[in-house]
Amino acid sequence: LFQWDYELMFSVPSYACQRRTTLENHNAVLTDALSLLAENAELSDQEGRGVAFRRAAAVLKALPGPVTGLTQLRGLPCLGEHSLRVIKDILENGASDEVESTRQSEHFKALKVLTGIFGVGPKTAERWIREGIHSLIQLRESGHTLNRAQQAGLLHYDDLNRPVTRAEADAITEVVVRAVVAVAPGAEVTLTGGFRRGKLTGHDVDFLITHPEEGREEGLMSKVVSWLRSQGFLLYEKTTRNSYLESTEGPARPASNMDRFERCLTIFKLDEDQRPGSEETKLWRAVRVDLVVSPISQFAFALLGWTGSKLFERELRRWAGHEKAMSLSSHALYDNNQSRYHRATSEEEIFAHLGLEFVPPSERNA
Q: Which residues are catalytic?
A: 204, 206, 290
Binder of Mn ion out of 168, 204, 262, 313 (CB under 5 A): 204
Binder of Mn ion out of 89, 290, 349, 363 (CB under 5 A): 290
DSSP helix, strand, coil percent of the chain (3-state; round to 5): 45, 15, 40
Q: How far apart are CA 315 and CA 57, in angstroms?
A: 13
In angstroms, the Cα distances linking 87 to 15, 100, 102 are 20, 13, 16
Under 8 Å between Cβ of 55 and 78:
yes
Q: How far apart are CA 166 and CA 169, in angstroms?
A: 5
Contact set for ligand CTP, span 114-133 (CB under 6 A): none
Does the footprint of ligand CTP cover residue 361 (CB under 6 A)? no
Nearest residue to Mn ion, by Cβ distance, number only: 193
Does the footprint of ligand CTP cover residue 305 (CB under 6 A)? yes
Amino acid at 212: P
Binding mask 323-342 for ligand CTP (x = CB under 6 A): -------x------------
Terminal Cα distance for the chain, rounded: 33
**215 or 355, CB closer to Mn ion?**
355
Does the footprint of Mn ion cover residue 196 (CB under 5 A)? no
The C-alpha angle with vertex 344 and arms to 339 and 345, in degrees rounded to 5, equals 160
Does the footprint of ligand CTP cover residue 254 (CB under 6 A)? no
In angstroms, the Cα distances linking 180 to 162, 211, 245 are 27, 10, 24
Residue 260 interface partner, choices ligand CTP, Mn ion, none, CB cut-off 5-8 Å depending on type: none
Number of residues that bind Mn ion (CB under 5 A): 8
Stretch that binds ligand CTP, among 15-23, 48-56, 194-202, 227-235 (CB under 6 A): 194-202
**204 or 217, CB closer to Mn ion?**
204
Which residues of this chain interact with ligand CTP, rule CB under 6 A?
193-194, 199, 202-204, 206, 258-259, 305-310, 313, 330
